Amino acid sequence: MQPDLSTLRDSQCKNAFVSNTVTGGDKWWDSSITLILTNEKYYGALLQQKTVTVDFLTHKRIKNRGQEQQYLIEDNHEPIISKAMFDEVQKEKDRRAKLKGNIIGDRNKYFSKYPLSGKVFCGCCDANFKRRTWNSNNTSKKVVWQCRTYVNEGKEACDAKAVDELELQDAFVRVFNRMHENKEGFIRTLKANIETVLSKRNGHESILKIEQQMEQLKSDLKGLVNLKLRDQIEESVYVEENARISDELNELRQKKVLFEEDNDKKAEIKNRVDEIIQVLSMRQDLLEQFDENIFNALVEKITILSPAHFIFSLKSGLEIEEIIS
């Protein structure tokens, strides 16, 4: 009996695709797929200076995280997919990130099994709370959150009491509804706070000055190397000057990193505030029950001061107190 050629061909194509990774392996990793989905080359563009040289002598290169300007060349080569399709993929990635409580560009993905996981902390010892089920085999079953220190080391180490999960969820509903009822005033407060933060974190001119100084030192170092190659400088002078210039370059690089980290924090805070404003603006009604997506989008952590006293820390940095009467 002759084999079905179409079935055989489909099977061969499938096997060829499965094994056709960049490294020749037979498994596609999430990171590899992410690189493909975000690679501008697929729609015919070319992003230059993805990496930058950090050491003139060794030619060591690192990923460009804003150290140097990047240039995007559109229509650089024949595309595999359309620009519209590429943009749709980016929008879908952002949409899925928001559903899991992530800000666009945030690398800390939310993979926890429960919505409160990793967000509940003890006000006494700062340890995180863990989810536990009491009386799981009878009708009085109850889900609570308990301090990890208390669970592992006993009340001598921390005497924090357990908190009912439903109480925590209901507390968030009340917190959100208070924000929503005064939505316009709350949004004005958020915008005023972020403007204050941004005005105190403006380091753009300082970074430009540092970059200019670095370029001058790189030029000096290049000239020094040329003198060395032409035997126009004494060895001892070369060594001394090389060390001095290298030390100054390293010091400037460290200062630049600090400014960039400050600017990254500024951008992150702004993104967090924009995310909260977007969630509040899109929601037309009050919450009637706990909403996991809204909770993950707004709340950074909950600090438990007592079973009836909580502090909700929003992703903007704002803290809201909730006391159960």
Predicted pLDDT at 3: 46
Predicted pLDDT at 253: 86
Measure Cα distances from 20 to 6, 28, 35, 285 in Å: 21, 9, 16, 50
DSSP 110: -
Predicted pLDDT at 60: 63
DSSP 42: G
Predicted pLDDT at 194: 73
Predicted pLDDT at 58: 63
Task: Give the Cβ contact number of residue 189 at 10 Å.
Answer: 13
The CB-side HSE value for 71 (13 A sphere, CA atoms) comes to 6
Query: CB of 252 within 8 A of CB of 218?
Result: no
Predicted pLDDT at 46: 83
Measure Cα distances from 142 to 84, 159, 166, 186, 257 in Å: 50, 20, 9, 35, 49
Predicted pLDDT at 297: 84
Predicted pLDDT at 260: 76
Q: At what angle do helices 235-282 and 183-200 cross, to 10 degrees?
A: 170
Query: CB of 166 within 8 A of CB of 324?
Result: no
- Dist CA 22 CA 25 (whole Å): 7
Predicted pLDDT at 116: 92
pTM of the model as a whole? 0.50
- Written as tens digits, the pLDDT of the chain (325 aa) is 444 444 444 444 444 444 455 555 566 666 667 778 888 888 888 887 777 676 656 666 677 766 666 767 777 788 888 888 888 888 888 777 665 555 444 444 444 568 898 899 999 999 999 999 987 677 778 899 999 999 999 989 999 999 999 999 999 999 999 989 888 888 888 887 777 666 665 555 577 888 888 899 999 989 998 898 888 889 998 899 989 998 898 888 888 888 877 777 777 777 778 888 888 888 888 999 999 888 988 899 999 999 999 999 988 888 899 998 7
